[in-house]
Structure 1
């Protein structure tokens, strides 16, 4: 048993000290910190007091004043400046950066506003959306005047309809809560997906590397192949859990440090303002179970090849299974209550991501995620038992071996 713990510790520490792990973790942690501080970073580059100035040529001599008031109410960081210069002269100033753009106002059909906005780019931004909304409101006011409507009647005409959703089931989430859950589930799903693929590939590659360098022949003389397999799986699983813990800690500290600046906008839309401990716990549980399921399969497949270059071909079906589960989860973000998504959440290879999606977005009965966890545990035990038999014989197979027919050969070697 001491050999098993030695192998486990070696698998864990060797990957923990690897440059690839350190660099990957650093980049991911940096990305989380940058996302949490994105507002401060933008302000540092642009400055809090930056004002976008737009030159206006008002051919009507009537619209500028009303439009200026509307723009100020919508966005105080945008100002309009009436100019008498020619269009070509102002366009030159726009190219030089003196103005953010040029707005030309005139009357179109029915004496309603007709506007042309000229800038260095056609991409939509806050300026164009603000100016468009302001002109729309000015047009509504003019149209109301032409139809002899009072401001109260115009406000009543444009008032949003009262529409409220109510669920018969007690505790069902509102649309706002679903949108918030969708954001955080989306991000955690990406982490589970990429982590499972990365660490499962790592196991398969390491097994193939040991076989190609003949190190495996030395190892099996002192440690049984089955102990090696589980030591690698558990050791690298601890590496993944360590990375997840570091990233969650960085994310938590970044959010707590900038909590006052992160209220509203992107932060709330993506659900970080309502992040619960239960979601984090479920993310860790399904990450670990998904990892052990696919890691066992990867170790099994990696033991069948003798050359590193054959690894990707051998584990390609496993990669497709992970991708299919991820795509089902992405589909489920829009339709989490779909029967298709519900059924897929109980298929072992898809459960880690799809069941986590349902737990994160829906108030499902506790027995459903528990059933999913039980299905995963049973599947891992069955796959581990089968994989151990193949691994024991597969590590002794050399030569060109990249076909699933070699599974039978590995089982026959185990029997001998």
Structure 2
């Protein structure tokens, strides 16, 4: 056990300090940061961000000052101003003027203090609730956010005017103006449709769809990076003849499992770094505004998916890791490693693509069967868990098959590793490998 801990610690320190690992981690963290802040960076270049317009730090509303020409429609103008003030991050601020020819407004337009003005047309019909509205700008058309503010605010004013007076509160008016949302869900049989109203089944939210995507991508990239790291480590030690010295002090099995666990800890550290980068970026003010405007609430994250995702990641890692270690032990030159690990890489790619391409169809028979195949279950079963399509019995059965597969392939990899690390020259055939394996007991 002491020797196993020594191998684990040595492997962890050696891999965590390599320039390739540090540079790869920093580059990926930088790409994650750029990707998460790309909308904000684009808005800065367009002068629409929080720090746009010369980096003054003004809000979007302060950069969109619009004149409001009420005319005889002072009540509607008052309601529009009240609606705008009630917004947490309004798209514009209003400056009231008597008419469009007011000298102060003309000077403000000339100096760039106003980007345009909104004017209510004279009513053309008796009892018209909301007159036509005209937006006049000096140089460019209004942004979609300003148009949305106008339409929503005037719609609320229209509903209130048609119902009459202050009979309804602002919340009631907003509720009337809000379109009805229609959700849909699929059932496997007509008998389930009769219970649709009482079951209260929750549709997977967008935030959980995104979580499933991230976890599947994370498993694929991490398993490929760490797996190739294990195989290349074993092959390089074997090709440089260092392996002959190592096995005199540490048994081959201790070496194999020590490398697997050590590199597993390196992978966990890298994931922790990425998680810290993501959380830090999500806490930035402009990203929280984007999430709220998109209707995404991080409190909707499914902790069950996170828990099972961690379990499937650990088990899936060890399944692929023992295979990479076994393949690396039978390769004598690093130039041959890429071709040797190709079958394992294809299995990992298949698991990734089955999960990604079936995220819209998690109930097909193909996906259900793939969830019990150990090479595919880390991503496919995670997909079904994230979309709430897997029962607890199916999850535990998939986990049991995965654990049994790890034990079997771990035993097989140990026998291959025990014999392969001392076999030099051309890659051994299956017949030669089987004969050599029979000579050793695990």
**What TM-score, normalized by structure 2, do the two folds share?**
0.66
SS at match of 1:189: helix
Q: 1:54 to 1:406 in 2, by over 3 A?
A: farther
Distance, in Å, in 2 between the alignment partners of 1:171 and 1:18 is 54
For 2:189, the equivalent position in structure 1 comes to none
Q: 1:415 to 1:267 in 2, by over 3 A?
A: farther
**Residue 202 (structure 2) pairs with residue 174 (structure 1):** yes
For 2:366, the equivalent position in structure 1 comes to 340
**Residue 59 (structure 2) pairs with residue 49 (structure 1):** yes
Answer whether contact 1:200 1:294 (CA < 8 A) is retained: yes
**Residue 360 (structure 2) pairs with residue 350 (structure 1):** no
Deviation at 1:226, TM superposition (A): 2.1
For 1:291, the equivalent position in structure 2 comes to 317
**Residue 305 (structure 2) pairs with residue 279 (structure 1):** yes
Deviation at 1:370, TM superposition (A): 1.6
How is 1:209-224 mapped onto 2 (pairs within 5 angstroms)?
A: 209-224=236-251
> Could you list the runs of 5+ residues in structure 2 that have no partner in the other structure?
67-75, 95-99, 101-111, 117-131, 155-160, 164-176, 186-192
Q: 1:32 to 1:374 in 2, by over 3 A?
A: farther
Answer whether contact 1:302 1:311 (CA < 8 A) is retained: yes
Answer whether contact 2:239 2:333 (CA < 8 A) is retained: yes
For 1:9, the equivalent position in structure 2 comes to 9
SS at match of 1:43: coil
Question: What's the CA shift string for 1:66-113, capped at 9, x where partnerless?
Answer: 9xx99x989954699xx9xxxxxxxxxxxxxx89x99xxxxxxxxx99
For 1:146, the equivalent position in structure 2 comes to none
> Could you list the runs of 5+ residues in structure 1 that have no partner in the other structure?
56-65, 84-97, 103-111, 121-125, 139-149, 153-157
Deviation at 1:279, TM superposition (A): 2.9
SS at match of 2:21: helix
Q: 1:130 to 1:27 in 2, by over 3 A?
A: same
Q: 2:330 aligns with which of 298, 304, 314?
A: 304
Quick check: which has more Rg, 1 or 2? 2
Answer whether contact 1:329 1:354 (CA < 8 A) is retained: yes
Q: 2:436 aligns with which of 397, 413, 416?
A: 413
Deviation at 1:209, TM superposition (A): 0.7
For 1:163, the equivalent position in structure 2 comes to 182
**What TM-score, normalized by structure 1, do the two folds share?**
0.70
Answer whether contact 2:208 2:302 (CA < 8 A) is retained: no
Distance, in Å, in 1 between the alignment partners of 2:279 and 2:183 is 34
Deviation at 1:171, TM superposition (A): 6.3
Deviation at 1:32, TM superposition (A): 5.7
Distance, in Å, in 2 between the alignment partners of 1:23 and 1:222 is 33
Answer whether contact 1:11 1:235 (CA < 8 A) is retained: yes
Deviation at 1:180, TM superposition (A): 2.3
For 2:400, the equivalent position in structure 1 comes to 374
Answer whether contact 1:336 1:362 (CA < 8 A) is retained: no
Distance, in Å, in 2 between the alignment partners of 1:242 and 1:268 is 31
Count of residues in correspondence between the two structures: 387
Deviation at 1:36, TM superposition (A): 8.3
Question: What's the CA shift string for 1:214-269, capped at 9, x where partnerless?
Answer: 111112232222222111111111222233344445555665x5599726736975
**Residue 349 (structure 2) pairs with residue 323 (structure 1):** yes
Q: 1:49 to 1:7 in 2, by over 3 A?
A: closer
SS at match of 2:384: helix
**Residue 263 (structure 2) pairs with residue 236 (structure 1):** yes
Deviation at 1:398, TM superposition (A): 2.1
Q: 1:314 aligns with which of 340, 350, 354?
A: 340
Answer whether contact 1:36 1:258 (CA < 8 A) is retained: no
